[in-house]
Amino acid sequence: MGAPVHHGGRREVTKGAMAVAATWAACAGLALAQVAPVPQAGEGGGRIRAQLAAPSDVEISSEIAAKIARLPLKEGDSFARGALLVEFDCGLYRAQLAKAQATATAATRQLDVTRQLAKLHSVGAMDVAQAQAHAKEAAADADYMRTTVDKCSIRAPFTGRVAKRDAAPYEYVVPGKPLLEILETGALEVKLIVPSRWLATLKPGTRFVLHMDDLGTDVDAEVVRIGARIDPVSQTVSISGRIVGEQPRLLPGMSGWASFPGHP
């Protein structure tokens, strides 16, 4: 008689393979869900997750090596365009500028004297050329120090608010050291990703309703720009919109649902 065949082991292997396959399918579904935002049915049309962003998000860094003399703004503070953001202690740089300007003035006068002497045939053309070169070099040194001193204070490039402060008064910083992160206030942008098939009817100026999760309110918005490329994997495209009207309670980083009528 042949050896008895046991089918229990085969059933266990089959169950294990099915479990592995189910796990892989679940992981694949999760990955696809993370890549492609799936519209959800709701009142008035398709719903897509959206997030608010500031028109400009800038990190202010030091361009010189110096000690911070003033850093008047703290996180959350508002400021107007042109307001002082950072001021450095630049006594040494200003002294170097004064010296460079004095040297440039003396070099210019020496050039004038040399030219007068050349007219009297007391000096040669080589002396004039050397005086000109010295005057240009001194003027360049003065311009360099003037530019350095101009970097001793940083003023706001736009009206906005301080999102983060990375330095403190009296701290010595080096070039490239982050000091402040500032956000431009005003018309917030709406960032969202929609299915590429919506492009058949979606265009700049298309209105939609944005439900803000953080506030529990609805605001009107409209499409401003459509992305230049479709993602080949998820078949989606990025969309930029803007809030219609004044909404002072909205802040960058808030998120919600964008409802597009006519897009199931």
**pLDDT tens-place string over residues 208-248:** 999 999 999 999 999 999 999 999 999 999 999 999 888 88
pTM exceeding the 0.85 threshold for the entire prediction: no
Q: How confident is the model at residue 264 (pLDDT cuts 50, 70, 90)?
A: low
Cα(65)–Cα(63) distance, integer angstroms: 7
The position carrying tokens 């360049």 is 140
Q: Residues 23-72: pLDDT tens digits? A: 444 444 433 333 334 444 333 457 899 999 998 999 999 999 999 999 99
pLDDT for res 7: 46
Residue ranges and CATH numbers for the domains of the chain are 35-55+186-260 (2.40.30.170), 56-84+159-184 (2.40.50.100), 91-151 (1.10.287.470)
Predicted local distance difference test score (pLDDT) of residue 249: 86
CA 253/CA 257 separation, integer angstroms: 13
Above 90 in pLDDT, residue 12? no
What are the residue ranges of helices labelled H in 59-152?
91-119, 125-150
Beta pairing class for 66-70 and 172-173? antiparallel
Angstrom distance (rounded) from CA 169 to CA 149: 19
pLDDT at residue 13, rounded to an integer: 41
Indicate whether 101 pLDDT > 90. yes
Average pLDDT, the chain: 84
Could you tell me which of 192, 182, 170, 150 has the C-alpha nearest to residue 79? Answer: 182
Give the whole-angstrom CA distance, residue 147 versus residue 150: 5
Residue-level pLDDT at 263:
64
Q: Above pLDDT 70, what percent of the chain?
A: 82
pLDDT of 248: 82
Side chain identity, residue 219:
V
